[in-house]
Amino acid sequence: MLRRLRINYLIVCQHTILRKKHCLLSCLNMYFIFLVEVCSLLSFDNGQLLTNGNSIFKSGDTVLVACASNYAPVYLATTCQTDRSWSPRPLCTEVMCTVPNLSNGQYYLNRSTLASGTALGYQSVITPSCLIGFSPIPDTPQTCQQNGQWSGQEPNCTAITCNGLPSAFENGTYDVEGNWPAYTFNVSISPKCDQGFFLRQGEVRRCEKLNSWSGETPICSPITCNLPPSFHNGVYNNTQSNYPFGTALIPLCDRGFNLTNNVQSRTCVGQDTWSMENPECHIVKCAELQPIDNGNYNISSGNQAFKYQTFITVTCTTGYAAVNDIWNSTCTENGTWSSVLQCIPIICNDSSEVEHKAIHINSKLAFGDIVNVTYNSTFFVKMNGSLEINCSSEGKLSWISKPYFGKL
């Protein structure tokens, strides 16, 4: 209800606060009466005025209009007029927005999917989402406005493609199939480093979003190798802490050992990766000794494996001796015996027992040989005995039955 009121004011006079309907200002000797036109609080359907607790308003006061859920104000504010009315008159109308159709996609409201044609109230916010392989453009949420339309540009679900490869990287390239102007969704490309470099960072990259590849920019670093593991009974020809790509190391076995797995060299072929397996150096072995005629072997320390530095001697049976008087042999570093041992019959070089100016021995005799000698029958005659001699185990020639010679 509108009414005329006299408004109380706070008057300060001689440092005293006076509250009066009619206030005499002694300082000015003047008497004031204020008469103001006011509007009372207004009620209307589906809304209210935002009064901040006030119940009456003077002419010229403007108040915001607030509406209930799903309603929107026709006018955002109203003003108290001098004729004690509100203008424009507050009015809240129901607002509904229809969820549009989104090809290859759908809308969400608070993580719940929405069917196209669904009616939503004022200020509802929907978010576009596309099927796998498509991307919403634009991808911003939309709000139901006062005019029953959705805010912003209506999105489209566009097929995801990546125009061109990701940015180039040093010492490598991408391994791709074909040479397309645009790569389709989920196409994968692999970073490949140049020879002598390895992939320190990076992995297979996929076209996951519009013009956006997954993963990070690859990094190709120079390949180096640490010293390979040591191996028994040998070393590499070059020992240092680090080797560049392509370095070749040659295994060297200790003296008396040789390679048994044919690893002639190892090459740095990848990051801390060497070609071939670890070398194996095994002790050299000589050929197994065959039985010796007329003698026996004596092997050092009972070693029957005939390994490097095995030492053997030979013992010949009675009447036999080592060839060239060589009585021992050693297994050398190249896997051969230093000497070939044999026992051969002793040669009888001592003829003192059969010497006589009448006889003549035609050949050298060896142990066990028995021969007939000749004599000078022109001047001598055999009186008795035999002309046979033999070679003894002591290396002497002796008569089987000593003969006697007389002069003619």
pLDDT confidence bin for 36, thresholds 50/70/90: low
Residue 289 lies in a domain: no
- CA 162, CA 144: separation in Å to the nearest integer? 33
Hey, what amino acid is at 206?
A: R
pTM over 0.75? The answer is: no
Number of helices (H), then strands (E), belonging to the chain: the values are: 0, 53
Phi, psi of 36 (to 5 degrees): -125, 140
- CA 328, CA 93: separation in Å to the nearest integer? 124
In a shared domain, residues 80 and 16: yes
Residue 73 lies in a domain: yes
Hey, what amino acid is at 290?
A: Q
In a shared domain, residues 25 and 75: yes
Task: Check if the beta carbon of residue 190 is closer than 8 Å to that of residue 204.
Answer: yes
pLDDT confidence bin for 116, thresholds 50/70/90: very high
Give the mean model confidence (pLDDT) for residues 114-137.
Answer: 93
- CA 292, CA 226: separation in Å to the nearest integer? 53
pLDDT score recorded for residue 341: 94
At which residue do the structure tokens 């669904």 appear?
118
Q: Which residues pair with 16 in a beta bridge?
A: 13
Residue 230 lies in a domain: yes
Max avg pLDDT among 36-50, 324-338, 376-390: 324-338
Q: Who contacts 146 (Cβ-Cβ below 8 Å, separation ≥6)?
A: 72, 73, 95, 122
Query: Which tens digits make up the pLDDT trace of 367-376?
Result: 999 999 988 8
Residue 288 lies in a domain: no
Query: Which tens digits make up the pLDDT trace of 263-300?
Result: 999 999 999 999 999 999 999 999 988 899 999 999 87
Task: Check if the beta carbon of residue 207 is closer than 8 Å to that of residue 132.
Answer: no
pLDDT score recorded for residue 190: 92
Residue 190 lies in a domain: yes
**What single DSSP character describes residue 350?**
B
In a shared domain, residues 102 and 152: yes
In a shared domain, residues 30 and 83: yes
Q: Which of 283, 315, 334 is the last residue of a domain?
A: 283
In a shared domain, residues 263 and 238: yes
User: Which 3 state secondary structure label does DSSP give 281?
Assistant: strand
pLDDT score recorded for residue 216: 94
* pLDDT of 12 higher than 90: no
What CATH number has the domain bearing residue 68?
2.10.70.10
Provide the number of structural domains found in the chain. Answer: 6
- CA 206, CA 66: separation in Å to the nearest integer? 50
Residue 299 lies in a domain: yes
pLDDT confidence bin for 27, thresholds 50/70/90: very low
* pLDDT of 148 higher than 50: yes
Q: 166-174: which pairs have CB atoms within 8 A and are 24 or more residues apart?
A: 166/205, 166/213, 166/217, 167/217, 169/202, 169/217, 169/218, 169/219, 169/220, 170/220, 171/197, 171/220, 171/221, 172/197, 172/199, 172/218, 172/220, 174/205
Pair of tokens at residue 376: 């000078």
pLDDT score recorded for residue 381: 82
Pair of tokens at residue 171: 């010492």
Give the mean model confidence (pLDDT) for residues 289-317.
Answer: 87
In a shared domain, residues 22 and 76: yes
Query: Which tens digits make up the pLDDT trace of 357-395?
Result: 888 888 889 999 999 998 888 777 888 888 899 999 999
pLDDT confidence bin for 343, thresholds 50/70/90: very high
Residue 340 lies in a domain: yes
**101 exposure class (CB count in 10 Å sphere: 0-12, 13-18, 19+):** exposed
In a shared domain, residues 189 and 251: no
Higher pLDDT, 384 or 341: 341
CB atoms within 10 A of CB 20: 9
Pair of tokens at residue 224: 């180096």
Q: Which of 118, 134, 159 is the last residue of a domain?
A: 159
In a shared domain, residues 274 and 318: no
- Mean pLDDT value across the chain: 86
* DSSP codes, 292-346: PTTEEEEEGGG--S-BTT-EEEEEEPTTEEEGGG--EEEB-TTSSBSS---EEEP
pLDDT confidence bin for 30, thresholds 50/70/90: very low
Instruction: Please give the share of the chain, as a percent, with pLDDT higher than 70.
Output: 89
Query: Which tens digits make up the pLDDT trace of 175-215?
Result: 886 666 788 899 889 999 999 999 999 999 999 988 999 99
Q: Which of 93, 119, 141 is the last residue of a domain?
A: 93
* pLDDT of 347 higher than 70: yes
In a shared domain, residues 113 and 142: yes
pLDDT score recorded for residue 100: 95
Determine the structural domain holding residue 308 and report its residue range. Answer: 295-345
Residue 328 lies in a domain: yes
Higher pLDDT, 86 or 53: 86
Task: Check if the beta carbon of residue 43 is closer than 8 Å to that of residue 51.
Answer: no
**What single DSSP character describes residue 138?**
S
pLDDT score recorded for residue 146: 85
Query: Which tens digits make up the pLDDT trace of 246-266?
Result: 999 999 999 999 999 989 999
In a shared domain, residues 240 and 187: no
In a shared domain, residues 19 and 70: yes
In a shared domain, residues 27 and 82: yes
